[in-house]
A = this chain, B = another copy of it.
Amino acid sequence: MEHPENSEEYKGLVVNKGIEQPSSVNPYLKRKPKKRQLSVAEFVDGITKGDVTILSQAVTLVESVKPEHQSVAQEVIEKCLPYSGNSIRVGISGVPGAGKSTSIDVFGLHVLEKGGKLAVLAIDPSSERSKGSILGDKTRMEQLSVHPKSFIRPSPSAGSLGGVARKTRETIILCEAAGFDKIFVETVGVGQSETAVHSMVDFFLLIQLAGTGDELQGIKRGIMEMADGIVINKADGDNLERAKLAATQFRNALHLFPAPESGWTPKVLTYSGFYNIGVKEVWDMVYEYICFVKENGYFEYRRNEQSKYWMYESINEQLRDSFYHNPKIEAMLQKKEQQVLSGNLTSFIAAKSLLDTYFEDLKM
């Protein structure tokens, strides 16, 4: 490792080289250990030994936008890759108010009863604006947040959905390498982020509420069709009948969709997160699914497809980034769009002139 004085960031007292530095009386040195970044080998060693502090630091690197952090992070992830994969990954989605936090809390305790370790991650591309609308406050998961076998990490907050999702996916690899054999990925039920979560988990669980009558529940396009299981929360007390009715409605609606590729028939169950009723049944369903798809080969197939998906997704996202963040394109994009909107230019000709400019610029 580089000596502090050699590093450009070092702004403090210059000590002559070769002289043994006093242990901890020098205030500059006191601060150093926090700043010193672990080496790749140290990260990998710590993670694979299950050191949660080092895991946390590695995730922070993954989430960092600094190129020097990213390059270390990528090396760490790559070295952790052979130790990853041995887990059940469950995506958990639901509209705000469906009781996701309470549910994840009881779900988490339930799966930990069987042993193992649980990591709870999140994808919330809106968290930058809302300063972490989900999982920002660990105390919302009262029991899990103090559980010795759980690791809770809020959604990475930087950048596009693609970027946020990639970071969460990479965090899954690190968590698995650290021995976490159950991974929950929470997301808020508002659209695009579900697709991202769906493409990194084995089972997609959708939490719903019994609505008032047959009224809409704010499920966005396509989300219901991604669900391997739909669970109606708050099936307790006065609400029990309504919850059962909602379950029937969802079952009927699911019939209208084609059978999922997995061969699994999505189930609809009711439960109460608050009163801890029906939680076992929810997880029996998840385990049943995992057995089912491990047996028919879909589990392996799907994970492979997901890896491919993320490779192509990364490529396509970065191709778009390169184009739309090109200064010349940024300068002319609005104008072209206006010309298209005013009917003076076809969409295709506008696209062509932008692309010509871009490729010309890349050559220079």
Contacts and interface: CB of A to CB of B under 8 A. Distances in A.
A355 interface: yes
5 contacts: A170-B348, A221-B222, A222-B225, A315-B354, A319-B323
Contacts of A355: 315, 318-319
B219 A311 contact: no
Nearest to A314: B351
Contacts of A169: 347
A90 B223 CA distance: 26
A297 interface: no
A82 B344 CA distance: 7
A218 interface: yes
A315 B311 contact: no
| Across the A-B interface, the 7 shortest Cβ-Cβ residue pairs | A314-B351, A310-B347, A311-B347, A221-B225, A253-B253, A222-B222, A315-B351
Interface centre among A169, A225, A344 (most CB of B within 10 A): A225
A24 B348 CA distance: 41
A21 interface: no
A208 to B, nearest CB: 10
Interface in A298-332: 304, 307-316, 318-320, 322-323
Contacts of A343: 81-82, 85
A326 to B, nearest CB: 11
A341 B310 contact: no
A74 B249 contact: no
A65 interface: no
A219 B224 CA distance: 14
A214 B255 contact: yes
Given A320-B319, A355-B315, A310 B256 contact: no
Nearest to A167: B348
A362 interface: yes
A78 interface: yes
